[in-house]
Structure 1
Amino acid sequence: MTAVLDRPAARTRGVFLPHGVGFAGISAAMVAVLVAAGAPGPLLPIYQAHWGFAPSMLTLAFGVYAFALLVTIPVVGSLSDYVGRRPLMISSLGLDLVAMVVFLLSPSIEWLIVGRIVQGVATAAASSSLSAAVVELAPEKHKKLGAQMTSMAPLAGLGIGALYSGLVAQFASDAAFAVWLVLVVVMVLATAFAVFTPETATRKPGALASLVPRVSLPPQVRRLYATTVPGIVSAFMLMTLWMGLVPVVLVSVFQVHSPIVAALAAFVVFAVGTVASATTSGVRPHRLRLLGTSGITAGTVLFVGSIGAHALPLIWVAALVTGAGIGAAFAGTTRGLVPEVAPHERAGLFTAIYVVGYLGMGVSAVVAGPVAGVVGAATMASWFGVITAVVALGGVIATARLNRK
C-alpha cells in the first residue's frame, strides 16, 4: 500500500478539545447521525395506523431519504476538503437537529417525508466530513482505528437506531414523540461538541467550484474502487431489505405483528456487521471484501429460502450471515481504499463510496413499494433478495479476478 502522510491542519483560534477527545466525540456523533437514520423504520407502521396512508408511502418515506443523500453528496461531498471539516460538521449536525424537530412535530405523512428529505441532506453533508475527520483525529499510533471507525459507525448506528425505536414502539404509549425528543437532545449535544472539535484539514481555494456536482475519485484507486462497487451496492440494498421490507414480510408471511421483532432482526444484522468490522483488523482488505461479498450472497439466498419454506428461524440465520457479510465488505472497502489516497482526497473518496451505495438503496426502496403492491410483499422480497444476491456475486467475481491480475 502507498504510505500517506497527513498535512498539517490550518490553525484556528479558540478553545478546542484534545485530538483524542475529539476523535471519541466525533465518532459518537457519526454513530448518532446513523442512529437517527435507523430510527424511523419501526415507527412507520405506527404512523400508518394513526394516519391511514397507503402502504406504498412507507417505502416512499424510506426512499426519499436515500435520494436526498444521493443528490446532496456529489454537491457537498468534497466541500470539507476546501473549507475545513469543522464548518461542514457543525452545519450538517445542526441541520440534522432541524430534521429531528420536524419529526417530533409532524402532523402527517407529508411532513414526515419532508423531515426525511432534510435528514437525507444532513446525513449526506455529515457523512464525508465526519468520516474524514474521524480518520484525521485518530491517535497517531492507531491511525487504522480511524478507518475502522468509518466502517463500524454506520452499521452500529443503524442497528442501535432500529433497536432503540423498536423498544420504544413496543412499550411506550406515545412512541414517536419519545423517540424524537431523545434524538433532539442527542443532536443538540453532537452539534455543540463539533463546535469545540479542532480543525484537521487545511483550507484551500476552490470551495465554490467544488459545489459543481461530481464524484472526485483519485486515479490511483479507480480500478480498485470499481471492484468494490457490487459489494457496496448490495450492502446498501440489504439496508433497504432489513429495515424496509422485512417488517412487512414478518407480518404478511409469518403473522408477526410485534414491532420489536422486526427491530431485533435489523439490529442483529447491523450488530453482527459491527462486530465483524471490529474484529477483523488483522485481515487483509482484499480477503475481507471477498469474504464479505460471499457472506452477503449466501445470507441473501438464506433469506429467500426462509420465505419459500415459511421457516421463521431461517430468517435469523440469514440475519447473522448477511450481517457478517455487510461488515466485512464495508470494512474491506474502506481499509483498502483510504490508505491509498492523500488526506485532501479522503472526502471525495467517501463521497464516491456513498453515492453508489445510496443509489442502490434509493432505487431499490422506491421501486419495491409499488411492486409489492402488485405482486405481494413475499414475492417482492424474494425477488429483491435474488437481485441482491446476483449483485453481491458480481462482487465476489470482481474481487477474485483483481487478486489474479
Structure 2
Amino acid sequence: MIGTTMPSPMYALYAERLHFAVLTTSVVFATYAAGVLAALLVFGSWSDAVGRRPVLFAGIGFAVLSGIVFLVADSVGVLLIGRVLSGLSAGLFTGTATAAVIEAAPEEWKSRAAAVASMANIGGLGLGPFIAGALVQYAPSPLHLSFVLHLALLTLAAVAVAVVPETSKRQGRIGFQRLAVPREARAVFVPAAIAAFCGFAVMGLFNAVVPTFVALEIGIPNHFLGGFMVTTIFGASAVTQLFAVWIPPRLAVAVGSAVLIVGLAVLAAALWVASLPALIAAGVIAGVGQGISFGRGLAAIAERTPQQRLAEVSSTYFVVAYVGISLPVIGDGFAAQIWGLREAGVAFAVAAAVLVSLCLALIVWTESRSRNLSRTT
C-alpha cells in the first residue's frame, strides 16, 4: 500500500516538468480509484475460489508494473497508466490481504486481526508520501529513487507470500462481484456509506491537492512537508482505528461524523487563511473522524447483514468509499481552474461538512425512531 501514495509529493514536480495544472493532477490521482474499483468489481471474490496467495501474487505483479511505469514516466498518459496499475494492485490487496491476515491470525489474536490488517492498509497509505517526500526533497533522482525502493519492498513481499501457507478453503466461485444491500441493513448502511464517502473524499483532497496548496498558496515548496501533510490524515486514521474498536459500531459512526465535521470546519478555515499549523490540525482531526466512522461503520453494517451476503455488502461499501476518493477531487480540480485553488478547497470543505451533517442528522433521526418503536412495542 506504500506504493499507492508515493506519487503524492511528486505531483508538483510532474506538473512543472510536464506543464499541467491542478485539474490534471486531480485526474491523475483519481485514476487510481478507477483501478481499485475495477479490481474490487472484477476480482473481488476470486481469492475465495483460487486462494489468497495467487491473488496476492497478482497484486504484487500489478504493483511491480506500476513502479516500472513510473520509473519511465515522461507524459501524462504514462502517469495515468501507472496510477491505474497501482489501483489494480490496491484493489486486489484490500480484500484479499485483509482476509488472509484474519484467517492466519492465532486464536489469541482473532479479536485484533481485523484492526491489525486495517492499520497495515491505512498505515501503508500514510507512510508512502512520508517516505517519498523525504527522498524527493533530500535524495538524488527525486522522481525515481522512491519507486526503486518500492520495487525492493515488493521483492520482500513476494518472498513473504511465497513462504506462508494458504489460508483459504477455496470454496468460492470466479465471477463479478455483485453490489447490493439487503433491506435489513439499509438503515445502517446509508449513513455509514455517506460518512465513508466524505471521509475518503477528504483523504483524496489531502493526497492530490494539499501538497500543491502548501507549495503555491502557503509558499513552502518543500516536498517532504507536502508528503508529511498527507501522512497526517492517514496516520491519524490508522492509529484511531486501533482504539475505536471499543466504541459500539452504530455510536461510532455518529461520533466519527461529528469529529469529521469539526475537521472539515478547521480545514475550510486553514485553506482560507493559508495557515500551515491549522492545515496540520485539520488533517489530524479529519483523520480521527474518518478512522472512527469508516472502520466501525463497516462493523455496524456487518451486525445487520446476513453472513452469506457480507462479501457483497462489504464490496458495495468499499466502492462507495473509493468513488468518494475520486469524483469529488476531480470536481475540486475543475473548480480550481475557475475560482482558484484556495476558493475551490474551501467550497469542497463546506460541501463535505454539509453532507456529513445530513448523515449525522439521519443517524440521530433513525435512532430516535427506533427507540420510539421499541417503547410502543
Same fold (TM over 0.5): yes
Q: What letter is aligned with 2:239?
A: V
Q: Secondary structure at the match of 1:254?
A: coil
Partners of 2:353 and 2:222 in 1: how far apart? 28
SS at 2:244 equivalent: coil
What is the deviation of 1:387?
A: 1.6
TM-score by length of 2: 0.90
Q: Which residue of 2 aligns with 1:262?
A: 226
The one-letter amino acid of 2:354's match is V
Deviates more, 1:83-92 or 1:382-391: 83-92
Match of 1:29 in 2: none
Q: 1:4 aligns to what?
A: none
- Alignment of 1:173 with 2:140, yes or no, is yes
1:144 equivalent to 2:108? Answer: no
Q: How does 1:55-70 map to 2 (within 5 A)?
A: 55-70=22-37
Residues in 1 aligned to 2:9 and 2:290: alpha-carbon distance in whole angstroms: 21
Shift of 1:243: 1.2
CA 1:398–1:64: 2 relative to 1, 3 Å: same
Equivalent residue in structure 1 for 2:278, among 290, 293, 314: 314
Superposed displacement of residue 342, structure 1: 7.2
Query: 1:143 corresponds to which letter in structure 2?
Result: K
Residue 191 of structure 1 deviates from its aligned partner by: 2.4
Q: Could you say which structure has the greater relative contact order, defined with CA pairs below 8 angstroms and 6 or more residues apart?
A: 1
d(CA) in 1 for partners of 2:237 and 2:198? 14
Q: How does 1:353-368 map to 2 (within 5 A)?
A: 353-368=317-332
Matched, 1:200 2:167: yes
Distance (Å, rounded) in 1 between the aligned partners of 2:97 and 2:329: 26
How many pairs align?
Answer: 369
Identify the match of residue 271 of structure 1 among 235, 239, 243. 235
Q: Distance in 2 between matches of 1:400 and 1:134?
A: 35
Q: Which residue of 2 aligns with 1:305?
A: 269
Q: Say whether 1:53 aligns with 2:17.
A: no
Q: Deviations over 1:22-69 (max 9, x none)?
A: xxxxxxxxxxx2x11111110111122223334432111101111222
Encode CA deviations 1:174-223: one digit per residue, 9 max, x unaligned.
Answer: 1221100010111122123223332222223631xx22x53255665444
Alpha-carbon distance change, 333 to 222 in structure 1, aligned in 2, over 3 angstroms: same
What displacement does 1:322 show? Answer: 0.8
Contact 2:245/2:296 (<8 A) preserved:
no
Structure 1 segment 51-130 matched on structure 2, within 5 A? 51-130=18-97
SS at match of 2:219: coil
Q: Are 1:233 and 1:391, in contact at CA under 8 Å, matched by a contact in 2? A: no
Q: Provide, for residues 78-100 of structure 1, a one-character-per-residue CA deviation record: whole Å limited to 9, x for no partner.
A: 22233332221221122212111
Question: Which residue of the other structure, out of 314, 336, 346, is the alignment partner of 1:350?
Answer: 314
Matches within 5 A, 1:373-392: 373-392=337-356
CA 402–339 in structure 1, closer or farther in 2 if over 3 Å, else same: same
Helix, strand or coil at the partner of 1:143: helix
Is 1:294 aligned to 2:258, yes or no?
yes
Q: Which residue of 2 aligns with 1:7?
A: none
How far did 1:350 drift? Answer: 3.4
CA contact (8 A) 1:81 1:345 kept: no
DSSP 3-state at the match of 2:294 = helix
Higher mean Cα deviation, 382-391 or 139-148?
139-148
Partner Cα distance (2:284, 2:340) in 1: 26
Match of 1:191 among 143, 154, 158: 158
1:163 and 2:127 matched: no
Q: TM-score, normalised by structure 1?
A: 0.84
- Contact 1:65–1:120 (Cα < 8 Å) also in 2: yes
Q: Which runs of 5+ in 1 are unaligned?
A: 1-32
Q: Check whether the contact 1:289–1:332 (CA below 8 A) recurs between aligned residues.
A: yes
Question: Which residue identity is paired with 2:64?
Answer: L
Q: Compared with structure 1, are the counterparts of its residues 292 and 205 closer, same or farther at alpha carbon in structure 2 (3 Å cutoff)?
A: closer
Distance 1:227 1:193, change over 3 A: same
How many angstroms apart in 2 are the aligned matches of 1:139 and 1:223? Answer: 34
8 Å Cα contact 2:22/2:209 also seen in 1: no
CA distance in 1, matches of 2:295, 2:321: 14
| RMSD value, Cα | 2.2
Counterpart amino acid of 1:293?
Answer: S
Query: Which amino acid in structure 2 is aligned with residue 234 of structure 1?
Result: C
Say if 1:148 and 1:338 are closer, same or farther in 2 by CA, change over 3 A: farther
Q: Verify the 8 A CA contact 2:272 2:343 in the aligned structure 1.
A: no
Say if 1:64 and 1:362, in contact at 8 Å, map to a contact too.
yes
Moved more, 319-328 or 243-252: 243-252
- On the 8 A contact 2:26/2:329 being kept in 1, the answer is yes
Structure 2 unmatched ranges of 5 or more? 371-377
CA distance in 2, matches of 1:188, 1:179: 14
Aligned residues of 1:237 and 1:361 also touching (Cα < 8 A): yes
User: Percent identical across equivalent pairs?
Assistant: 23
Alpha-carbon separation, structure 2, partners of 1:173 and 1:279: 39
What secondary structure is seen at the aligned counterpart in 1 of 2:164? coil
Match of 2:374? none
